[in-house]
């Protein structure tokens, strides 16, 4: 850079294209190498130390130095989500076309908050596409792309809280929660995701007013228990404001009985939100379509493109039937934003954030690349692999099924001959098998607890998962289990 007086950010066409090509080569190499790398990696001590103690440079570095640093110190140490034998988290690998579309979004640098630019209009089609994919009514509905499932559900429950207060004769925005009004009460399955509790805390509802509705042996909310809880709260003078039903539990894939829950929420006029962050895409699988039929009449749904759809983090979609309620709960337009465009209201009027990232292009690109049939094939294949794994577990004398295939999740554990199901030593053994799987680098499969037992939890989400992965997984668990009990 010596002698170059231009600002470092000035775009030199040739330099940019050379660097761009170099970066793409680097990314391609990274993605192609992933399958042959250990699934689980740990950031080495010296690297951690270096990354945490970088001195602030006084002078800017060259682009070449910056890319070299990323290649050397950052790219070798990801978490396991991109590898097809990473069965632990509900994260998918990034679709290559979405990576590229995201670079287009960054280059245009237009937020998805609003105003007159192309992505705002593309968002209308994308929202409709997502609704059509999962069978959510398109007419009058709105899709927002938020940072994830937690943010999407928080947005929906804020609108639900606003509506319930308004119906009870008060304005949440002016009065807040301190006007000595009725207690707002939220309902969710005892098996619901931790984000629901965080929403209750964030919204000032308090966990004392979050009813954890009992689930059955198969981890599905009991509708009768929901009805009874609502009746009890109404009799006590409380104000039930929302039910969150689970459209695919993270731990077990369990789907709450959405139809029966929709009947109950409808009878009491309570907002029904479905947390389908992981599972809602399975509405495209003929084997599960009926279980999601209630999407035609629920109030809102969370579903995460950054889970099954292979879109790079972050993105959680919210589908809502009540854009006007979200607007009433959130819209605040200062004078300097009075754009006066005929296409308003813009997305930002329905949410807390003002400026927010253009997540539309990467999501649009993934769906455009796959089409409806491609998305359906992906979820249907993953669900089929879970059923195959369940069958293999049932056939094996030394494996115990802990929760049957639901969506693409199966829970099981190694249980050698002579051990009874209640043997607590099996907990430690399976913990050690999970650790050995990570240490061996062939897969990633953390444990969870199912009916009080330590379980190996397998979740298929990768576009390249196939039967060979099931066979590999079964053989791996049996081999490590045998080794561990002999050692």
Ligand X SMILES: *Cc1c(COP(=O)(O)O)cnc(C)c1O
User: How many residues belong to the site for ligand X (CB under 6 A)?
Assistant: 12
We find the least distance from the C-beta atom of residue 17 to ligand X, in angstroms, to be 35
Nearer to ligand X, 219 or 241 (CB): 219
Q: How far is the CB of 154 from ligand X (least distance, A)?
A: 9
Q: 93: Cβ–Cβ under 8 A, 6 or more apart, which residues?
A: 34, 81, 82, 83, 84, 310, 462, 463
132 CB-near residues (< 8 Å, 6+ apart) = 138, 372
457 forms part of the interface with ligand X (CB under 6 A)? no
CA distance 29 to 23: 10
From the CB of 449, what's the least distance to ligand X, in Å? Answer: 16
Q: Per CB under 6 A, does 86 bind ligand X?
A: no
Q: In this structure, are residues 309 and 192 in contact, taking their beta carbons and an 8 Å threshold?
A: no
- The least CB distance from residue 78 to ligand X, in Å, is 17
Contact code string over 310-349 relative to ligand X, x by CB under 6 A: ------x---------------------------------
Which range binds ligand X by CB under 6 A, 167-175, 231-239, 270-278, 435-443? Answer: 270-278
Which residues is 316 bridged to in the sheet?
A: 146
Number of other CB atoms surrounding residue 25 within 10 Å: 10
- Burial label for 49, CB within 10 Å (0-12, 13-18, 19+), is exposed
Report the C-alpha gap between 99 and 24 in whole angstroms: 10
Dihedral Cα 8, 13, 16, 20, nearest 10 deg: 170
First to last CA, the chain: 61
| Closest approach of ligand X to the CB of residue 70, in Å | 25
Interface with ligand X includes 148 (CB under 6 A)?
yes
The closest of 395, 248, 262, 261 to 307, measured between CA atoms, is: 248
Q: Is 411 in the site for ligand X (CB under 6 A)?
A: no
CB within 8 A of 193, min separation 6: which ones? Answer: 149, 246, 249, 250, 275, 277
- Of 107, 103, 97, 110, the C-alpha closest to 357 is 110
Minimal distance, residue 272 CB to ligand X, in Å:
16
Closer CB to ligand X, 271 or 281, in the complex: 281
User: With respect to ligand X, which residue has the nearer C-beta, 119 or 409?
Assistant: 409
Q: Tell me if 88 contacts ligand X by CB under 6 A.
A: no
Does the bond joining 345 to the residue before it have cis omega, within 30 degrees of 0? yes
Q: Which residues inside 37-56 make contact with ligand X, applying CB under 6 A?
A: none
Candidate ranges 60-68, 271-279, 390-398, 429-437; the one touching ligand X (CB under 6 A)? 271-279
Window of 34-42, 218-226, 275-283, 366-374 that interacts with ligand X by CB under 6 A: 275-283
Report the residue number, 219 or 278, with the smaller CB distance to ligand X.
278
As a whole number of angstroms, the distance between CA 111 and CA 357 comes to 5
Omega within 30 of 0 (cis) for the link into 314: yes
**Interface residue with ligand X, options 187, 219, 278, 356 (CB under 6 A):** 278
- Cβ-based nearer residue to ligand X, 120 or 283: 283
Considering only residues 40, 102, 233, 275, which one is a binding residue for ligand X as defined by CB under 6 A? 275
Shortest Cβ 316–ligand X spacing (Å): 5
Residue holding tokens 């919210």? 318
| Contact region with ligand X (CB under 6 A), list: 48-56, 116-124, 143-151, 216-224 | 143-151
Q: Is 90 in the site for ligand X (CB under 6 A)?
A: yes
Reduce the DSSP state of residue 58 to 3 states and report it: coil
Query: What does DSSP say about strands 409-414 and 399-406: parallel, antiparallel, or unpaired?
Result: antiparallel
Contact (CB, 8 A) for 149 and 275: yes
| Smallest distance from ligand X to CB 214, Å | 18
Binding region for ligand X (CB under 6 A) out of 28-36, 57-65, 144-152, 285-293: 144-152
Q: Residue 353 or residue 391: which is nearer to ligand X going by CB?
A: 353
Write out the two tokens for 157.
């429950």
Nearer to ligand X, 302 or 454 (CB): 302
Give min distance, CB of 277 to ligand X, in A: 4
Residue 173, classified by CB atoms within 10 Å of its CB into exposed (0-12), middle (13-18) or buried (19+), is: middle
Q: Which of 209, 304, 358, 434 binds ligand X (CB under 6 A)?
A: 304
Q: Does 257 bind ligand X (CB under 6 A)?
A: no
Spell out the alpha helix ranges (H) of 287-421. 323-330, 360-395
**The binder of ligand X chosen from 150, 155, 406, 447 (CB under 6 A):** 150
Using rule CB under 6 A, residue 250 touches ligand X: yes
CB under 8 A, 24+ apart: contacts of 412-419: 412/455, 412/456, 412/458, 413/453, 413/454, 413/455, 413/456, 414/456, 414/477, 414/478, 414/480, 414/481, 416/481, 416/482, 416/485
**Shorter beta-carbon distance to ligand X: residue 433 or 459:** 459
Member of 101, 272, 277, 365 binding ligand X (CB under 6 A):
277
Is the CB of 191 or the CB of 442 nearer to ligand X?
Answer: 191
Q: Which of 86, 155, 189, 195 binds ligand X (CB under 6 A)?
A: 195
- Closer to ligand X by Cβ: residue 195 or 383: 195
Which residues would be at the binding site for ligand X (CB under 6 A)? 90, 148-150, 193, 195, 250, 275, 277-278, 304, 316
């Amino acid at each position: 850079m010596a002698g170059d007086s231009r600002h470092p950010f000035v775009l030199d066409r040739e330099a940019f294209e050379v660097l761009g090509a170099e970066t793409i080569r680097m990314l391609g190499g990274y993605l192609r190498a992933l399958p042959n790398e250990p699934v689980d990696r740990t950031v080495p001590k010296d690297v951690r130390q270096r990354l945490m103690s970088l001195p602030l440079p006084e002078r800017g570095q060259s682009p070449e130095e910056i890319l070299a640093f990323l290649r050397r110190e950052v790219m070798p140490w990801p978490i396991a989500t991109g590898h097809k034998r990473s069965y632990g988290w509900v994260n998918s690998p990034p679709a290559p076309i979405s990576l590229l579309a995201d670079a287009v979004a960054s280059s245009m640098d237009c937020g998805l908050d609003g105003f007159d630019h192309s992505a705002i209009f593309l968002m209308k089609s994308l929202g409709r596409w997502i609704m059509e994919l999962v069978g959510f009514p398109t007419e009058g509905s709105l899709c927002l792309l938020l940072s994830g499932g937690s943010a999407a559900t928080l947005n929906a429950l804020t609108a639900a809280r606003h509506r319930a207060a308004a119906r009870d004769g008060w304005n949440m925005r002016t009065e807040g929660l301190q006007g000595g009004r009725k207690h707002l009460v939220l309902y969710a399955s005892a098996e619901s995701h931790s984000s629901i509790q965080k929403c209750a805390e964030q919204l000032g509802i308090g966990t004392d007013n979050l009813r954890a509705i009992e689930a059955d042996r198969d981890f599905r909310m009991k509708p009768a228990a929901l009805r009874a809880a609502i009746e009890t709260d109404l009799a006590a003078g409380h104000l039930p404001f929302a039910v969150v039903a689970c459209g695919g539990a993270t731990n077990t894939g369990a789907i709450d009985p959405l139809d029966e829950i929709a009947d109950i929420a409808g009878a009491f006029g309570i907002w029904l939100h479905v947390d389908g962050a992981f599972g809602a895409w399975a509405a495209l699988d003929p084997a599960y379509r009926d279980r999601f039929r209630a999407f035609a009449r629920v109030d809102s749904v969370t579903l995460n493109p950054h889970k099954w759809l292979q879109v790079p983090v972050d993105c959680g979609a919210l589908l809502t039937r009540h854009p006007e309620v979200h607007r009433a709960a959130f819209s605040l337009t200062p004078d300097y934003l009075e754009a006066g465009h005929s296409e308003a209201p813009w997305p930002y009027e329905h949410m807390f954030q003002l400026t927010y990232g253009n997540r539309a292009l990467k999501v649009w690109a993934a769906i455009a690349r796959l089409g409806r049939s491609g998305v359906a094939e992906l979820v249907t294949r993953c669900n089929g692999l879970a059923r195959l794994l369940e069958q293999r577990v049932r056939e094996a004398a030394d494996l115990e099924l802990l929760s049957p295939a639901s969506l693409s999740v199966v829970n099981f554990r190694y249980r050698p001959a002579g051990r009874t199901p209640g043997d607590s030593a099996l907990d430690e053994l399976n913990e050690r098998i999970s650790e050995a799987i990570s240490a061996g680098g062939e897969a990633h499969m953390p444990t969870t607890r199912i009916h009080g037992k330590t379980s190996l939890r397998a979740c298929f989400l990768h576009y390249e998962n196939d039967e060979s992965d099931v066979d590999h997984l079964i053989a791996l668990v049996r081999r490590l289990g045998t080794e561990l009990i002999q050692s």
